[in-house]
Structure 1
Amino acid sequence: MMTHTPLLGCIADDFTGATDLANTLVRNGMRTVQTIGVPPSGTASGTAKVEADAIVVALKSRTIPAAEAVAQSLAALQWLRTQGCRQFVFKYCSTFDSTDAGNIGPVAEALLDALGSDFTIACPAFPENGRTLFRGYLFVADALLNESGMEHHPLTPMTDANLVRVLRRQSLGKVGLLRYDTVARGAGETRARIGALRGEGVRLAIADAVSDADLFTLGEACADLPLITGGSGIALGLPENFRRAGLLPQRSDAAEVPAVNGHGVVLAGSASRATNGQVAHWIAQKRPALRIDPLRLARGEAVVDEALAFAADHDQPVLLYATATPDQVKAVQTELGVARAGHLVEQALAGIAAALKARGTRRFVVAGGETSGAVVQALGVQALRIGTQIAPGVPATVTLDDAPLALALKSGNFGGEDFFDVALRQLGGAQ
């Protein structure tokens, strides 16, 4: 049985975040389709009804100006409402990536306004990947957010672990805290506290969560809120709300996707600790790898052509990476500027992906949210069916095309050191 009217509409501020959220929904029994951006009006994809329980619209809005992020998010909301969605999720990174100018606060408040709602929670917790919230402070494993490496992020350096303070600096409305001791007492107490916060004029409340059980509690307590915001973990409890209401059947086929055979490639643009480790592991296994040097790109050298020739010289998947240490990243940004350095790498890897697709590559493993966004746009991907989990937060996906592609779109911080090999195997075909 297939639900022809989607129940849950989700707006994600980057591409890997979208697949992360979709992965959570699929694992909890919702057949999920992810669109790449808002389908254009007047096109078949823009007017056709999506046959799924949940839809996730993947934007590339995390680091653009706040006004543009708001406009894109509102357009996504409008399209999701035409699809018939009953509840909405605004998904951002589990490390709350943003600046004092936005974009989490401005987008959340704009979505609340559009839905005629006065309150929502903000909970980026993802305990399975070590992101927990206690008394409003975000931890990454055992470290506070500002001591986790995120303080060195090139675009959104996170230097304050107190998310109440962070969200206050980028919001117009009152920001409060839904504390752990309340959440620990269950959904009824949590609903009551939400009512009290609303009575105090709080519009956005950071919600504590240190375990998946807390996220299920929050999901149940927020069943009647039009909008919920957070990381992918906040969606854990939402499918059961729809089942309790008789709107969602039990499913055993939520993660079914077609098999895709063909050559594979790994493209890494993230500079995160996890991706650095994954690149090092691949190279240590004496697997073919070639570094994409942004300084050479800036000089107009034929780096893309060299990468394509390198891939053609090997009969196994190759790694093409711009991943670098924080010191290397800083040196490049000092010479080229932050925006130009990132743009050069994204466009190079996107161009490589498009050329490899034209040559028959069908399996793509991509590391980094911004890189993933550039790559899927270059590949002409419009929508993805979400399959089984490869690693926490990263599902296998298959495009909804006559000649499908298989993709693993990984947030930079996710996955074990052997992630690239594991992903290539799970995407199917000979390695």
Structure 2
Amino acid sequence: MPQPPSEGLVVAYYGDDFTGSTDVMETLEDAGIPTLLFLEPPTREEVASHPEVRAVGVAGVSRTLSPAEMDDELPPVFSALAALGAPLLHYKICSTFDSSPEVGSIGRATELLRRAVPGGEERATALVVGVPQLGRWTAFGTLFATFQGEVYRLDRHPAMSVHPITPMHEADVRIHLSGQTSLPLSLIDVFDLDGPDDEVARRVDESLGSSDGIVVLDVADHETQRRVGSALHRRLEAASTTGGTAVVVGSSGVEYALGAAWGRQGHAAERAVRPAGTTLVVSGSRAPATQRQAEAAVAAGFLRVDLDPGAVTAESATDAEDARAAVAAQVVAALSASDRVLLFTPPPVPGAPAVDGTRLSLALADITRQVLDRVDIPRLVVAGGDTSGYVAKALGIRALRLVRRLAPGSPLCSAVSDDPRVDGMELCLKGGQIGAPDYFVRIADLGTDDVGTENVGAAAAG
């Protein structure tokens, strides 16, 4: 059974949103690869100051960027990550392939990734999306995902087919991706991955070796996942031997596949959790799962503070600032009355003007910063991938360490910051669709003698 290199960095990655980045961190940790997740690209010296670390990530926001914005944002980050010397450089995307030619273009990001390493444009780029552990499968290049216990082709998925920013109208990832890049697209399907290991390895390596474009690899079950992981390991190993860098694009299925190939699961070291105390939940997600979690939290005694999305993102800067300050004051008052408070973004009202998602995330980040300036918050939960990233940056968080696995893709983390009020803060940064209905309640209960984490993530990850 192959094993990761015994010394040095194994993987460097960039996540296209914040919660997806923590998903990769916990998957690597589960495979016994200590990981540090940064909000900005670290220097070699900064990484060297953490000698135990074997993987480094940067939590990004490229899922919300246009191709032109990607051209400005991604090349310096990719170059900085490549300079760290890890043999595998991963551009992490969502397992539901959120993207379009105009927003979050996976095709454009792949082109930029390939340019960041010597020879990257002449070699195949593997694309791995399926993650059975998260209810995501690819078969014959077609992506399937769960929704409330049922499996749907992604273009018929009740949520993704009507996504407000990047609706999925095509489940074949090659066809979907063809609108975002002119790179050649090919497939290694479930039949190619069937048979004796040596024959499968030969077929897969020949397919990857004969392409200079994007090669999609099916992941439909544990066995195809293990064989895809073995193929990625061989590319990682070859790069490690030559001192080069192999690039890969995909969901956390990349790391799950490597862990399966290495036979390394359940290796994450759990760190001590603080005693249960003040917990603030900041909800920027309007996903149904988050709505149910908010209802359960209020029923369990959380004080709820609602904000008006239109007011806190008003065109008038003065009006918006005043609205945010008023909400922050309400949250501070609630925290003086209760150690469990929920700052809640209500679902859209039919007929109401649309609110820009980025501006709303920035408003929530500003409110959270104002609250922290006035109240100590030992445990913070943020719901919403984009909101999580903006809140973390507003708080001056430099990096995150894994404390404990909870729901898939949303572990409990500890903040690394120069600000003593933030350094060591416990954080849960979760995607909107992640977690069981009692997620917020059970996070707040962590640290009491009778509370475990086994059911925190009963719902499928988003």
The TM-score, its normalising length taken from structure 2, stands at 0.81
The Cα shift of 1:290 comes to 2.2
Distance 1:113 1:188, change over 3 A: farther
May I ask how many residue pairs the two structures share in their alignment? 414
User: 1:129–1:414: 8 Å Cα contact kept in structure 2?
Assistant: no
Alignment of 1:352-367 (within 5 A): 352-358=367-373, 359-367=375-383
Query: For 1:161-185, what per-residue CA distance to the aligned partner results, in whole angstroms no more than 9, with x for missing partners?
Result: 1211111111121111221122243
| Equivalent of residue 272 in structure 1, options 287, 308, 314 | 287
The Cα shift of 1:202 comes to 5.5
Aligned CA RMSD, in angstroms, stands at: 3.0
Cα distance in 1 for residues equivalent to 2:6 and 2:429: 26
Cα distance in 2 for residues equivalent to 1:159 and 1:307: 42
User: 2:410–2:428: 8 Å Cα contact kept in structure 1?
Assistant: yes
| Equivalent of residue 153 in structure 2, options 124, 130, 144 | 144
| Equivalent of residue 392 in structure 2, options 376, 379, 398 | 376
Q: Which residue of 2 aligns with 1:176?
A: 186
Question: Is 161-170 or 225-234 further displaced after alignment?
Answer: 225-234
Q: Residue 257 in 1 paired to residue 257 in 2?
A: no
Cα distance in 2 for residues equivalent to 1:378 and 1:405: 14
Alignment of 1:210-289 (within 5 A): 210-225=220-235, 226-239=246-259, 254-260=268-274, 262-289=277-304
Distance 1:361 1:400, change over 3 A: same
Unaligned 5+ segments in structure 1 are 245-249
Cα distance in 2 for residues equivalent to 1:239 and 1:354: 37
Question: Is 60-69 or 409-418 further displaced after alignment?
Answer: 60-69
Distance 1:384 1:239, change over 3 A: same
Could you say what secondary structure the match of 2:233 adopts? coil
User: 2:225–2:260: 8 Å Cα contact kept in structure 1?
Assistant: no
Cα distance in 2 for residues equivalent to 1:392 and 1:4: 28
Distance 1:272 1:50, change over 3 A: farther
Q: Residue 89 in 1 paired to residue 90 in 2?
A: yes
| Equivalent of residue 16 in structure 1, options 14, 19, 26 | 19
Q: Which residue of 2 aligns with 1:425?
A: 445
Q: Residue 350 in 1 paired to residue 330 in 2?
A: no
Cα distance in 1 for residues equivalent to 2:271 and 2:75: 30
Q: Which residue of 2 aligns with 1:410?
A: 430
The Cα shift of 1:32 comes to 0.8
Cα distance in 1 for residues equivalent to 2:231 and 2:266: 26
The Cα shift of 1:12 comes to 0.8
The Cα shift of 1:363 comes to 0.8
The Cα shift of 1:240 comes to 7.0
The letter for the 2-side match of 1:144 is R
The Cα shift of 1:370 comes to 0.4
Could you say what secondary structure the match of 2:95 adopts? coil
Q: Which residue of 2 aligns with 1:311?
A: 334
Q: Which residue of 1 aligns with 2:38?
A: 35
Unaligned 5+ segments in structure 2 are 236-245, 452-462
The Cα shift of 1:429 comes to 10
Query: For 1:14-49, what per-residue CA distance to the aligned partner results, in whole angstroms no more than 9, with x for missing partners?
Result: 11000001111111111111001223x6x9748856
The Cα shift of 1:234 comes to 1.8
Percent identity, aligned pairs only?
Answer: 29
| Equivalent of residue 412 in structure 2, options 388, 396, 400 | 396
Q: Residue 385 in 1 paired to residue 401 in 2?
A: yes
Distance 1:57 1:198, change over 3 A: same
| Equivalent of residue 134 in structure 2, options 112, 129, 134 | 129
Cα distance in 1 for residues equivalent to 2:449 and 2:100: 42
Q: Which residue of 2 aligns with 1:207?
A: 217
| Equivalent of residue 106 in structure 1, options 102, 105, 108 | 108
The letter for the 2-side match of 1:319 is L
User: 1:94–1:131: 8 Å Cα contact kept in structure 2?
Assistant: yes
| Equivalent of residue 125 in structure 2, options 108, 120, 128 | 120
The Cα shift of 1:375 comes to 0.6
Could you say what secondary structure the match of 2:249 adopts? strand
Query: For 1:164-219, what per-residue CA distance to the aligned partner results, in whole angstroms no more than 9, with x for missing partners?
Result: 11111111211112211222436544443334434664511222212233222211
The Cα shift of 1:309 comes to 3.8
Distance 1:20 1:426, change over 3 A: farther
Cα distance in 1 for residues equivalent to 2:274 and 2:380: 11
Q: Which residue of 2 aligns with 1:247?
A: none
The Cα shift of 1:3 comes to 7.4
Query: For 1:113-134, what per-residue CA distance to the aligned partner results, in whole angstroms no more than 9, with x for missing partners?
Result: 3222311222222222211112
Cα distance in 1 for residues equivalent to 2:84 and 2:357: 35
Q: Which residue of 2 aligns with 1:297?
A: 312
